[in-house]
Structure 1
């Protein structure tokens, strides 16, 4: 089974970049970023926990991230990702930094909404975590859509 471990340096750089992006987004919008809190309309005020794991099935389009993955997240960073099928194993080997956290998926959804993508939809579980994210940037373009299905979500204490 192919898996990935990110280094502390990669995590620090990503955390700094994410913080800067959230600050810029908040400044531009004149309001606080909705993430890591769940998108308004989810019915909850879910926040991405410090540690959790989930299974991601990524499909549709010609994306580099296709297949089923088991993902472990700590402090907003993917600390381990395992491909559960051949496509996912190849993706983890070639592009390990492409495997997202749930917060990153929600930020991609928000960006799609802000940029008026033709489809930018999500479904949320009763506790507010996303269970499905569907994106299509341009309905007339081929292979720019993405469908993410989240299952086996387990917050860690």
Structure 2
């Protein structure tokens, strides 16, 4: 079963402490450069706050400002027996939950919406070009994290 995190996030967000999703300062004390989303790019999206045990990794391709492909990099395929009545989905060691991949602009919009709704949000950016590299959102039930790697414009 596919799970659309953005919709669930809006449904789950309730009053918590607020934080600022604006660009975090870089190591030299300045802010990263302003990032403008290109029409076409790719990146690897990792879901989960524990880098050693991610909940999912996806190779995401964005074309003309929309996700054109999202391939799960760490899914294990399960072949059900002929007598199985239910679709088992991917076997990931936990619930097998899938997410809809999103553009980086949508990730930043999700962080802003969560902030506006009172969630604790932390966003970090690449110091070279300003694209988001990590977003953490906590609506009071523990954080949900997304990391961005291998970004190629």
Aligned match of 1:56 in 40, 45, 65? 45
Which structure has more RCO (C-alpha within 8 Å, separation ≥ 6)?
2
* Structure 1 alignment gaps of length 5 or more: 1-37, 61-65
What is aligned with 1:112?
114
Normalization by structure 2: what TM-score?
A: 0.60
- 2:144 alignment partner in structure 1: 146
* Distance (whole Å) between structure 2 residues aligned to residue 90 and residue 75 of structure 1: 29
Please point out which of 51, 60, 76 is paired with 1:71. Answer: 60
Greater C-alpha Rg: 2
1:85 aligns with 2:81: no
| Deviation per residue, 1:27-56 (Å, 9 max, x gap) | xxxxxxxxxxx9455532211100000001
1:120-135 aligned at under 5 Å gives the runs 120-125=121-126, 126-135=128-137
- Structure 2 residue ranges without an equivalent (≥5): 1-20, 25-30, 50-54, 78-88, 92-96
Q: CA deviation at 1:74?
A: 1.1
The change in CA–CA distance for 1:90 and 1:101 in structure 2 (over 3 A counts) is farther
Counterpart contact for 1:73–1:80, Cα < 8 Å: yes
Q: Secondary structure at the match of 1:86?
A: coil
Q: Secondary structure at the match of 2:121?
A: strand
Distance in 2 between the 1:45 and 1:67 partners?
Answer: 28
Q: Check 1:69–1:122 CA distance in 2 against 1; reply closer, same or farther (3 A cut).
A: same
Identify if the C-alpha distance between structure 1 residues 100 and 90 changes in structure 2 by more than 3 Å, giving closer, same or farther: farther
**Normalized per residue, which structure has more helix?**
1
Cα pair 1:72 1:78 within 8 Å, conserved: yes
